[in-house]
Chains A and B, each alone.
Chain A
Amino acid sequence: MPVKIGIPRALLYYNYFPLWNGFFKALGAEVVVSSKTTKAILDKGVKQSVDEACLPVKLFFGHVTDLKDKADYIFMPRMVSVERKAYICPKFLGLPDMIRHNITDLPPFIEITVNMSKNDGSLYKSFSEAGRYLTGNSLLIKKAFQKGLQEMERFRRLNELGFLPHEAIEQMDRGLVAQNFSPLQEGRMTIAVIGHGYNIYDTHISMNLIGKLREMGVRVVTPDNLNTTIIRDRSDELPKKLFWSLGKQMIGSAFHFMRSDKIDGIIHVASFGCGPDSFTQEIIERHLRRSGRIPFLNLTIDEHTGEAGVITRLEAFVDMIEWRRDAL
């Protein structure tokens, strides 16, 4: 029976799942992803984490608990840094420690440290450590790593075509290799939803924000649809480089969407208690207000957010954009 590797459907799942999946599958393991977020999973997470933690971290606790009896190992990379001179966020740095000391009776972790802040090449080293949990054959590990990177490359291309990451993961699972047309439909307007992947693509905690916008006939684009060069160039416009990778993605995409005439409005989704968001949101909001060109809506989500309130605000925002367009 193949070894079962559990991957929590939370946090960087929406950014790197194809890489992890491709790698472990090539090594002959079975990859088990935790169930889609439900109220029960969220509640379990909230119960086991400290009150001050942000919503996505609490949710991660819930997803790890969900994997308790389903997997032989839980893949728990310590994501320190994925690019030079930038981190993810302090809570990601301490995540395996936070989990270990708060949830008992878990399967063993495949714990590796991914730190590319000084050296890009260190990624392979981290993955070969992970591979050693499953096989002693370094050639096999190398091939699996290449396979993972290929999957990741396909994933990025699908994202840039217009698939959202969770859709791209689904499509790849169904066997889609590549396609040469964008899946984006025409709509009555295009709204950019800016937020961390684990907040906006999780349909439970985002209260299906993207689905609701689409039901209203809105075309939705997100930072993940932009290629990394745009993100880098735009975020470099700040006088001091940001040291949070996800923060850079938020700022870079906001600065890009702000100037694009294809975008009718921007919705920023932050989670309560997110440290980097509190700063990037402030900068985005101030720059947008100064340019005064594009309507902006800021939504903060937490474990208590009521669905009705969100719908009302989305409807109001969409109506407002239409009236504004008619008036111009």
Chain B
Amino acid sequence: MKITFPHMGNMYICLKALFNYLDIEVVVPPMPSKKTLSLGTQHSPEFACLPLKINMGNFMEAYEKGADTIVMAGGVGPCRFGYYAQVQREILQDIGYDMKMVVLEPPQKHISELLVKIREITGSRSWLDVIRAIRFAWFKASAVDEVERMVHRLRPREYNPGDADQIFKEALKWIDEANSKKEIDSAVARTRDEMQAVPADTSRRPLKIGIVGEIYVLLEPFVNLDVEKHLGRLGVEVERSIYLSEWINDHLFMGLLRLKGNKAAREMAPPYVNHFVGGHGQETIGSTVLFAKENYDGVIQVMPFGCMPEIVAESVLPTVSRDLGLPTFCLIVDEHSGDAGVVTRLEAFVDLLARRKEGKGDIDFKEKGELVCADI
């Protein structure tokens, strides 16, 4: 049995660690590329959302590298993600790719439903080992998130653009190669040291932009056209509404770990979106409100074309923007999205925020406790 899984940003690091820990052979699909995209689009339904198409490409490329079993998460809707595996299975069957699919569905009646599925993959390995492996993968997820936060901070401050990304790339490799919790910790520590050594203007107070939206597009740089990197190079400090470890906790651990999760964000969504709408629609709005409260300069919503929950959020976002005086920008990606067009639009948005900030000049006033001019 050779296991593979779909890509989502840096999740491969955790899943690889998980399966390696259990001595299960794993085939990591090649990182998403133009080839992945065109393979995927060729066989997927035209109006399916982009993640499904990239997933398809991942599976096909992994099959060529010898994978025969796919591990995939499921869901109970109403977001389409919950039915991905079923559609993908039908497609793989028709194009003659003989692959077994193990779909980890949230248990409907009893936790045993999920445990049976996990047994299909882990075979006779003891539950204690499985739990240890999951714990190990979790440490890696947290480490990845931590170095990502570091790079978000350093990018707008470095004197020599590209230094931070160079270290970030290395850091991911170190975490990927770490064989124990100790090695993970030292990888993170080493990253911190190296990032601190990068020549940077630490006193600079850059523009701050929050990125919200659909989780897959948020986490996968190939799909979001490296929006975080571009913004960093434009001198903007970026914060994301959700990180990998939070998604893993919510979807793969069924929220077992009581983290500062999305609950805080969801609670901020009313009165704009008063009901759960599937996916991360409510979180998108709630996080925007949170970013406004933390005095961010702007918010960018990213989503794949046709994403249903995000369309609800997109419809309501202008009101949120108006009410809270926070400029927002919506970036919709599909298989035709091009780098250049997006960068131009990002530049324009950042320029707008910068000018607004200069003109407003209410930041120092606030610190002195004087009147804030309500200038929009």
Question: A residues bordering B, Cβ < 8 Å?
Answer: 49-50, 52-53, 78, 80, 85-91, 93-94, 96-98, 101-102, 113, 238-240, 242-244, 270, 272-279, 281-283, 286, 289-290
Closest to B319 in A: A101
Please measure, in the bound complex, the distance between the C-alpha atom of A53 and the C-alpha atom of B83, giving whole angstroms: 21
* B277 interface residue per 8 A CB criterion: yes
**Chain B CB within 10 A, most for which of A93, A238, A270:** A93
- By Cβ-Cβ distance, the 3 closest A-B pairs, closest first, are A243-B77, A94-B312, A278-B47
Contacts of A290 in B (CB 8 A): 94
Partner of B273, one of A94, A238, A243, A279: A94
Please measure, in the bound complex, the distance between the C-alpha atom of A307 and the C-alpha atom of B204, giving whole angstroms: 60
Please measure, in the bound complex, the distance between the C-alpha atom of A112 and the C-alpha atom of B276, giving whole angstroms: 15
* B345 interface residue per 8 A CB criterion: no
If A90-B281, A243-B83 touch, whether A274 touches B47 (CB-CB below 8 Å) is yes
A97 touching B272, Cβ below 8 Å: yes
Closest chain-B Cβ to A183's Cβ sits at a distance in Å of 35
If A50-B315, A87-B77, A275-B80 touch, whether A93 touches B48 (CB-CB below 8 Å) is no
Knowing that A101-B315, A239-B89 touch, tell me 14 more A-B residue pairs with CB under 8 angstroms: A50-B311, A53-B311, A80-B275, A93-B277, A94-B313, A101-B316, A242-B83, A273-B306, A275-B49, A275-B80, A278-B46, A278-B49, A279-B45, A286-B91
A98 touching B312, Cβ below 8 Å: yes
Partner of B45, one of A49, A88, A97, A282: A282
**Chain A CB within 10 A, most for which of B46, B274, B314, B318:** B274
Question: B residues bordering A, Cβ < 8 Å?
Answer: 45-49, 74, 76-80, 82-83, 85-87, 89-91, 94, 103, 105, 108, 272-279, 281, 305-309, 311-316, 318-319, 332
Contacts of B312 in A (CB 8 A): 90-91, 93-94, 97-98
Closest chain-A Cβ to B99's Cβ sits at a distance in Å of 15
Contacts of B313 in A (CB 8 A): 94
Partner of A276, one of B80, B91, B311, B314: B80
A90 touching B306, Cβ below 8 Å: no
Please measure, in the bound complex, the distance between the C-alpha atom of A278 and the C-alpha atom of B279, giving whole angstroms: 17
Partner of A279, one of B76, B83, B279: B83
Please measure, in the bound complex, the distance between the C-alpha atom of A86 and the C-alpha atom of B78, giving whole angstroms: 8
Contacts of A89 in B (CB 8 A): 78, 308
Closest to A238 in B: B86
Q: List 8 A-B contacts (CB under 8 A).
A: A89-B78, A90-B79, A90-B308, A94-B281, A244-B77, A273-B47, A275-B80, A275-B308
A93 touching B90, Cβ below 8 Å: no
**Chain B CB within 10 A, most for which of A49, A90, A273, A276:** A90
Please measure, in the bound complex, the distance between the C-alpha atom of A286 and the C-alpha atom of B312, giving whole angstroms: 30
Please measure, in the bound complex, the distance between the C-alpha atom of A238 and the C-alpha atom of B281, giving whole angstroms: 28
Closest to A99 in B: B315
Closest to B78 in A: A87
B274 touching A97, Cβ below 8 Å: yes
Please measure, in the bound complex, the distance between the C-alpha atom of A34 and the C-alpha atom of B201, giving whole angstroms: 62
Closest to A290 in B: B94
Closest to B332 in A: A52
A91 touching B48, Cβ below 8 Å: no
Contacts of A281 in B (CB 8 A): 45
If A87-B77, A87-B78, A101-B272 touch, whether A53 touches B45 (CB-CB below 8 Å) is no
Closest to B308 in A: A90
**Chain A CB within 10 A, most for which of B80, B85, B91, B313:** B80
B76 touching A52, Cβ below 8 Å: no
Closest chain-A Cβ to B266's Cβ sits at a distance in Å of 13
Closest chain-A Cβ to B305's Cβ sits at a distance in Å of 7
B78 touching A243, Cβ below 8 Å: yes
Please measure, in the bound complex, the distance between the C-alpha atom of A290 and the C-alpha atom of B91, giving whole angstroms: 12
Please measure, in the bound complex, the distance between the C-alpha atom of A272 and the C-alpha atom of B278, giving whole angstroms: 20
Closest chain-A Cβ to B120's Cβ sits at a distance in Å of 15
Please measure, in the bound complex, the distance between the C-alpha atom of A317 and the C-alpha atom of B200, giving whole angstroms: 68
Closest chain-A Cβ to B73's Cβ sits at a distance in Å of 13
A50 touching B49, Cβ below 8 Å: no
B314 touching A52, Cβ below 8 Å: yes
B311 touching A91, Cβ below 8 Å: yes
A93 touching B276, Cβ below 8 Å: yes
Please measure, in the bound complex, the distance between the C-alpha atom of A240 and the C-alpha atom of B90, giving whole angstroms: 12
Contacts of A240 in B (CB 8 A): 74, 83, 85-86, 103, 105
Please measure, in the bound complex, the distance between the C-alpha atom of A273 and the C-alpha atom of B99, giving whole angstroms: 30
B273 touching A97, Cβ below 8 Å: yes
Please measure, in the bound complex, the distance between the C-alpha atom of A276 and the C-alpha atom of B272, giving whole angstroms: 25
Please measure, in the bound complex, the distance between the C-alpha atom of A240 and the C-alpha atom of B281, giving whole angstroms: 24
Closest chain-B Cβ to A281's Cβ sits at a distance in Å of 7
Contacts of A52 in B (CB 8 A): 305-306, 311, 314, 332
A278 touching B48, Cβ below 8 Å: yes
Contacts of B274 in A (CB 8 A): 96-97
Please measure, in the bound complex, the distance between the C-alpha atom of A250 and the C-alpha atom of B275, giving whole angstroms: 26
Please measure, in the bound complex, the distance between the C-alpha atom of A214 and the C-alpha atom of B316, giving whole angstroms: 42
Contacts of B90 in A (CB 8 A): 282-283, 286
Partner of B86, one of A91, A97, A113, A239: A239
Contacts of B87 in A (CB 8 A): 279, 282-283
Closest chain-A Cβ to B348's Cβ sits at a distance in Å of 19
Contacts of B316 in A (CB 8 A): 94, 97-98, 101
Please measure, in the bound complex, the distance between the C-alpha atom of A93 and the C-alpha atom of B49, giving whole angstroms: 19
Please measure, in the bound complex, the distance between the C-alpha atom of A270 and the C-alpha atom of B46, giving whole angstroms: 12
Contacts of A289 in B (CB 8 A): 94
Partner of B78, one of A78, A90, A98, A274: A90
Closest chain-B Cβ to A110's Cβ sits at a distance in Å of 15
